[in-house]
Structure 1
Amino acid sequence: MAKSKPRNRNKNRTDPSKPIKPPSDPELAALRDKKILPVLKDLQSAELKTRSAAALAIANIIEDTKCRKLLLREQIVRILLEQTLTDSSLDSRAAGWGILHNLAIEEEADFCVHLFRQEILTAIGGIVRSITETIKSDDPPLFKLPVAQQKLLWTLTSSVLGLLTSLGEAQDEIAQEISNNLDLVAFLFDVLSLNGSPPATQSEALSCLTALTEDNKNLCDQLAASESWLLGLIRLTDTGGLPAVAACGVLHNIFTCLQWFDHNTPKEGTSDSMLVPVLTASMDEAGAQEDGMNGNASNSEQILKLALEIIASIATSLQEALEHGSKFEKTFEGFDDKAEVTNGDDVMDDDEELGEVDEQENEDEEDDEMDEDEMEADMERVLGNGPEDDGNGPEEVTLDRLVRTAAPRVLALATPFGTSTPEQEAIRLRALATLTNISWTVSSIDFSSGHLNSLHTFWSALAQKIWDELICVVLAKNTADIELASTITSLAWAVCRSVPGAFRPTEEHWKFMSLYQASKKLAVSRTNGTKPGSDEQSVDSFQTLGVKTIGVLGQLALHPASVELNREIGVFLITVLAGIPETPAADAVEAMNQIFDIYADKSYAFDEAVFWHDGFYDHLEGMLPKAKNMTKGIDKRKFGELRARADEAVLNLGRFLKYKRNEKKQKN
Structure 2
Amino acid sequence: MGKSQKKRQMRRHNPMRVPDSHLPKGLDSASASSSKREAILPIMQKACFRMESPDAAERKWACVAVSNFIQNDPSTRRLLQGKNIVGSLVNRLSDSDEEVVVEAAGSLRNLCIDGGYDICAEMYNKRILSPLKAFIPKISSTLSQYLENPKTAPDNAQKLVYEFADNIITILWCLSETSNKALDAINQIGLVPFLMSFLGSKDKLPLSTITSAAQCLYVFTDDNPPVSGELRSNGEYTACLLAIVRGNEETRKPNGKGKDVSDDRETTLRVLCTGILRNVAPIPPPSIAAMVDIDTELILPALLPVISSASLPEISQRVQELIAQEEAVPEMEKLSLKGAPKSDHKSPAELELELLERRLRTVQLAVEILTGVSATLPDPEPEAEEVGEAQDVIVLTGVGLLDEMDEDGDDEAENTDEEVEMETQPQKAAAPSALPSIIEPLLALTQLTPLSFPPTAGAASPHPPTTSALSAIHTCALECLNNIFLSLASPAQLQTRGFTSDADREAGPKIWDAVWRALSAVGTDVESAGQERRRDMWYIGVGVLWGVAILWKGILVPQVEQANVLIQLCAAASDPAVKVKCIGTLECLAQHPESIDGNRMISQFLVSLLGQPAAVPTEPLLQAASALIDIYSDETVPYDIVFRQGGYLRSLTTAVELVRKVVRGIDRKRERELRRRGEEVRDNLVAFIEYRRALRL
TM-score (norm 2): 0.66
For residues 153-164 of structure 1, the aligned pairs below 5 Å read 153-164=161-172
2:304 equivalent in structure 1: 280
The correspondence for 1:552, drawn from 577, 581, 585, is 585
User: Which residue of 431, 442, 449 corresponds with 1:410?
Assistant: 442
The answer as to whether partners of 1:402 and 1:438 remain within 8 angstroms in 2 is: no
- Alignment of 1:300 with 2:359, yes or no, is yes
Aligned with 1:175: secondary structure?
A: helix
Inter-partner Cα distance in structure 1 for 2:153 and 2:505: 59
Q: Which residue of 1 aligns with 2:326?
A: none
Aligned to 2:13: none
1:440 is aligned with what amino acid? L
| 8 Å CA contact 2:47, 2:66 repeated in 1 | yes
1:438 has 2:515 as partner: no
Amino acid at match of 2:564: M
What is the CA deviation profile of residues 516-563 of structure 1, one whole-angstrom value per residue up to 9, with x for unaligned ones?
23553x46xxxxxxxxxxxx5xxx3212xx443222111123476755
Report the counterpart of residue 372 of structure 2 in structure 1: 313
Pair 662,557 (structure 1): closer, same or farther in 2 beyond 3 Å: same
In 2, distance between residues paired with 1:116 and 1:333? 44
Superposition deviation, residue 187 in structure 1 = 1.6
- Tell me: CA distance 1:409–1:108, structure 2 relative to 1, closer, same or farther (3 Å): closer
The alpha carbon displacement at 1:500 in A equals 3.5
Structure 2 gap segments, 5+ residues each: 1-37, 248-265, 320-351, 395-401, 409-421, 454-465, 527-533
Aligned: 1:39 with 2:63: no
**Is the 1:215–1:253 Cα contact (8 Å) retained in structure 2?**
yes
Count, aligned residues: 548
How has the CA–CA distance of structure 1 residues 442 and 590 changed in structure 2, closer, same or farther, with 3 Å as cutoff? Answer: same
Alignment partners' CA distance in 1, 2:68 and 2:521:
44
Q: Deviations for 1:307-361, whole angstroms, at most 9, x for unmatched residues?
A: 112211211157789962489xxx9878699xxxxxxxxxxxxxxxxxxxxxxxx
Q: Which residue does 2:276 correspond to in 1?
A: 250
Q: Which residue of 2 aligns with 1:513?
A: 564
CA distance in 1, matches of 2:164, 2:432: 43
Matches within 5 A, 1:187-336: 187-194=194-201, 195-238=203-246, 240-255=266-281, 258=282, 266-271=290-295, 273-287=297-311, 290=315, 296-317=355-376, 324-325=391-392
Provide, for residues 44-90 of structure 1, a one-character-per-residue CA deviation record: whole Å limited to 9, x for no partner: 333222222222222223345455445444444444444x2122322
Secondary structure of 2:93 counterpart: helix
| Structure 1 position 663 matched with structure 2 position 691 | yes
Task: Give the deviation of 1:666 after TM superposition.
Answer: 4.8
Partners of 1:326 and 1:487 lie apart in 2 by 21
- Counterpart CA distance in 1 for 2:426 and 2:233 is 24
Q: Are the structure 2 counterparts of residues 290 and 653 from structure 1 closer, same or farther at C-alpha, using a change threshold of 3 Å?
A: closer
Counterpart of 1:173 in structure 2 is 181
Q: Deviations over 1:350-398 (max 9, x none)?
A: xxxxxxxxxxxxxxxxxxxxxxxxxxxxxxxxxxxxxxxx9759999xx
Q: 2: distance between equivalents of 1:244 and 1:273?
A: 14
1:136 aligns with 2:187: no
Task: Identify which of structures 1 and 2 has the higher relative contact order when contacts are C-alpha pairs closer than 8 Å and 6+ apart.
Answer: 2
Return the alpha-carbon distance in structure 1 between the equivalents of residues 139 and 365 of structure 2. Answer: 28
Tell me which moved more, 163-172 or 188-197.
188-197
Deviates more, 1:572-581 or 1:135-144: 135-144
- The answer to which of 156-165 and 84-93 deviates more is 84-93
| Corresponding residue for residue 31 of structure 2 | none
Secondary structure of 2:375's match?
A: helix
SS in 2 for 1:214: coil
Alpha carbon RMSD of aligned pairs, Å? 4.6
Shift of 1:657: 3.9
- Counterparts in 2 of 1:265-664, with a 5 A limit? 266-271=290-295, 273-287=297-311, 290=315, 296-317=355-376, 324-325=391-392, 403=435, 405-415=437-447, 422=453, 423=466, 426=471, 427-444=473-490, 446-447=492-493, 450=496, 462-468=507-513, 470-471=514-515, 473=517, 479-480=523-524, 482=526, 483=534, 484-505=537-558, 508-517=559-568, 520=571, 522=572, 536=574, 540-543=575-578, 546-558=579-591, 565-583=598-616, 585-599=618-632, 601-602=633-634, 604-605=636-637, 609-625=641-657, 645=674, 651-652=679-680, 654-664=682-692
Q: Which amino acid aligns with 2:243?
A: R
Quick one: distance in 1 between partners of 2:155 and 2:649? 80
Letter in 1 for 2:303: L
Letter in 2 for 1:127: F
Cα distance in structure 1, aligned partners of 2:426 and 2:690: 47
CA, structure 1 residues 200+461, in 2 after alignment: closer, same or farther (shift >3 Å)? farther
Q: Which residue of the partner structure matches residue 414 of structure 2?
A: none
Q: How far apart are the structure 2 equivalents of 1:105 and 1:149?
A: 25
SS at match of 2:294: coil
Moved more, 40-49 or 601-610: 601-610
Q: Which residue of 2 aligns with 1:367?
A: none
Partner residue in 2 for 1:87: 95
- Name structure 1 gaps, 5 residues minimum: 1-29, 338-389, 524-535
Larger radius of gyration: 1
3-state SS, counterpart of residue 411 of structure 1: helix
SS in 1 for 2:131: helix
The answer for the alignment partner of 1:98 in structure 2 is: 106
How far apart, CA to CA, are the structure 2 residues paired with 1:299 and 1:130? 29
Render the CA deviation track for 1:174-193: whole Å, top value 9, x for unaligned.
323333433x2212112223
CA drift of 1:164 comes to 0.6
Which piece of structure 1 moves more, 214-223 or 137-146? 137-146
Secondary structure of 1:46's counterpart equals coil
Specify the SS of the correspondent of 1:282: helix
Give the distance between the partners of 1:578 and 1:440, measured in 2 at CA: 29
CA shift in 2, pair 1:492/1:509, >3 Å = farther
Of residues 52-61 and 155-164 in structure 1, the stretch that sits farther from structure 2 once superposed is 52-61
The answer to whether the Cα contact below 8 Å between 1:414 and 1:431 also exists between their aligned partners in 2 is yes
CA positional deviation for 1:230: 0.9
CA distances 1:424-470 after superposition (whole Å, capped 9, x unpaired): 752344323322222122222634675x77999987664343124x1
Secondary structure of the residue that 2:366 maps to in structure 1? helix
Out of 189, 192, 196, the residue aligned to residue 185 of structure 1 is 192
Distance, in Å, in 2 between the alignment partners of 1:58 and 1:267 is 50
Structure 2 counterpart of 1:54, from 62, 72, 75: 62
The verdict on how the C-alpha distance between 1:406 and 1:139 changes in structure 2, with shifts beyond 3 A counting, is closer
* Percent sequence identity over aligned pairs: 22
For the structure 1 residues 578 and 400, does the alpha-carbon distance in structure 2 shift closer, same or farther, using more than 3 Å as the test?
closer
Report the CA distance between 1:624 and its aligned residue.
4.2
SS of the residue corresponding to residue 501 of structure 1 reads coil
Does structure 2 retain, via aligned residues, the 8 Å contact 1:39–1:58? yes
1:279 Cα offset (Å): 0.6
